[in-house]
Every structure is written in C-alpha cells, then in structure tokens.
Amino acid sequence: MKTAVVTGGAGFLGSHLCERLVAEGMRVVCVDNLVTGKRENLRALDGSPAFSFLRHDVSRPFEIEGPVDFVLHFASPASPIDYLELPIQTLKVGSLGTHNSLGLAKAKGARYLLASTSEVYGDPLVHPQPESYWGNVNPVGPRGVYDEAKRFAEAMVMAYHRVHGLDTRIVRIFNTYGPRMRPRDGRVVPAFVQQALSGQPLTVFGDGGQTRSFCYVDDLIEGIFRLLESDQVDPVNIGNPHEMTILQFAHAIREAVGSDSPIDFRPLPVDDPKARQPDIALARRVLGWEPRVPLAEGLRRTIGYFREVLENAEA
C-alpha cells in the first residue's frame, strides 16, 4: 500500500483529494492546522484504517513516520477573505510550508505535487491563459500575498526538481466549486448560492462583466490524480474552459435555485481580475483530461449541499 501525505487535507479540495486517494488504495496522512479547513470534511474517512489525521501548521517543520510515496501540498488560505485576513500566514504557508513539505518529499524519495493556482496569472493580458504565460501580477496589492506566495512556491518546486532531482508536479487550479466549500469564504459560488437560497440580493462587483470559468470539484480531482500519475513536470492548467460573465453566472444561480433575488451591484475590489479562462490544451494532450460535469448538474449538487448546511444551521 502506497502512502500519500496531503497538506491542507481538511479543506474543500484537500478533503475530496484525500477521499480519492484512499479510494485508489492508498494510505493517506492528512496534515492540517484547521485554520480554514474543517475536521468534519473528512468524516467519510473516519474509522478507515487507511486514513490518519495530524493537526499541524506546515509552516513549521514536521515529520511523518515510515515510507512516503507522494506528498501533495494543498495547505493555504485560498479565498479573498482568507488571504486578506491572513496575509502573513498565506505568505508563510506558500514559502515555509512549501519548503518543509519539499524537504519531507526529498527525505522520503517521494513524488511531490504542488497545488498552485490561476492567480499566478494575475489580471491577465493574454486570454485564455496558457501555461506559457508569465502573468500580470501586482506584488504589493492586497491579493499579492496569495499570488506571489504561489509564484514563489512554483519557483521553489522547480528548484528542488533541478537541483535535487526531486520528482515534481505542479497543477494550476482554476475556479472550482462543489460540496464542502465554506458558506462565507468570500468566493462567488457559495456567496451567490446562499444569497439566492435566503432570498437576499446577489452581490455583483463592478458591472458583472468580468469573466470566470467554473470547474466542478470531481472533474478537478480527476485531473489532479491523472497529473500525479503522469510524467509531466512543467505546470498544467486544470479548469473548465467554458467562460461566462459574473452577471451571467448570477442569473444561472437564480434560475437553478428558483429565486427571484435582485442583483446588488457593488464597487469592484482592488486588482480583481477582469478575465479568467484556462487554456487546457496541455491537459487534454498529456493527461487525456477535460471536464465532464455540466454546469447545471454541478450546481444541482452544490445547491443541495448548501440547502442542507442552511437547514442544519437553522435547526
């Protein structure tokens, strides 16, 4: 049985990844300090002899007993509210956390996968964004703590690959949605869904003309697993290339919920990207991957999850 260590494994994406790796027959060690993750995200794995949980901040050194075959670094605040409230922690987990988890992989001779982000492209001047694009990032703006932490992490991963011969992978994750997103994490999907379910106005920043593309979590995890098993060292975009404006997305949420919530337009936040759309030609070619879950189906599952969350909160 191979062993995988997942940092940030109690978070939205990390918990889904832990489940997938256990389902693939691996022993999984989840390392998380629960600052933004939740232990209950992992309740499906409670009692599994293949799963264990270590509460720890990976910005501090840590060790794992026994052999380790894979280290997957997913620890980081990952929503605007998080990295605006936790800027120093975001920088530390992207730098020190990446260094510590790379050190673990090096010591164990393990394959390493970094969860990077489309935010490395900043407010892009190239559209859609291919992996070859170097980005347009404001390093001193409020979003810079997340953008630059991930750009630094990518640089460190490639340095370990080149200097130490470490077997590494980098996934650039675009907007992803699905069950286990935190209700108030500031991202557009939970915000719109909760507002629509509660009959509140849907908050749209700017004129809503900025674009995003939304990938359902199951599709994303499939792409990450294929990348982990591949020979692809250079970064790979994983996301849904279907682009839509935020205003279009707000109307889609209202229709899916059956809500007549009005739209509440607010000023655009600083450095909010005007466009975000992945070029997934590389993922199609080297991984044979592309998203499969239609937006309507993904929203149905996600809305069902948030209905249950709201009902439990009211009970």
- The one-letter code for the residue type at 161 is H
Other beta carbons less than 10 A from residue 184's beta carbon = 11
Rounded distance, CA 85 to CA 36, Å? 11
289 near 223, Cβ under 8 Å? Answer: yes
Residue 276: left if φ>0, alpha if ψ -120 to 50, beta else—which one? beta
Q: Would you say 266 and 220 are in contact if contact means Cβ atoms under 8 Å apart?
A: no
Which of the residues 83, 112, 121, 146 is marked catalytic? 146
Asked if 3 contacts 18 with a C-beta cutoff of 8 angstroms, the reply is no
Joined tokens for residue 181:
């997103």
112 is catalytic: no
Q: How do the residues of the chain divide into helix, strand and coil, expressed in percent and rounded to 5?
A: 45, 20, 40
By DSSP bridging, strand 3-7 and strand 70-73 are parallel
E strands, the chain, where?
3-7, 27-32, 51-55, 70-73, 111-117, 168-173, 176-177, 202-205, 211-213, 215-216, 236-238, 243-245, 263-266
CA–CA–CA angle 292, 309, 180 (5° rounding): 40
Q: Is the dihedral of CA 65, 220, 125, 234 positive or negative?
A: positive
Would you say 241 and 193 are in contact if contact means Cβ atoms under 8 Å apart? Answer: no
Q: Which residues are catalytic?
A: 146
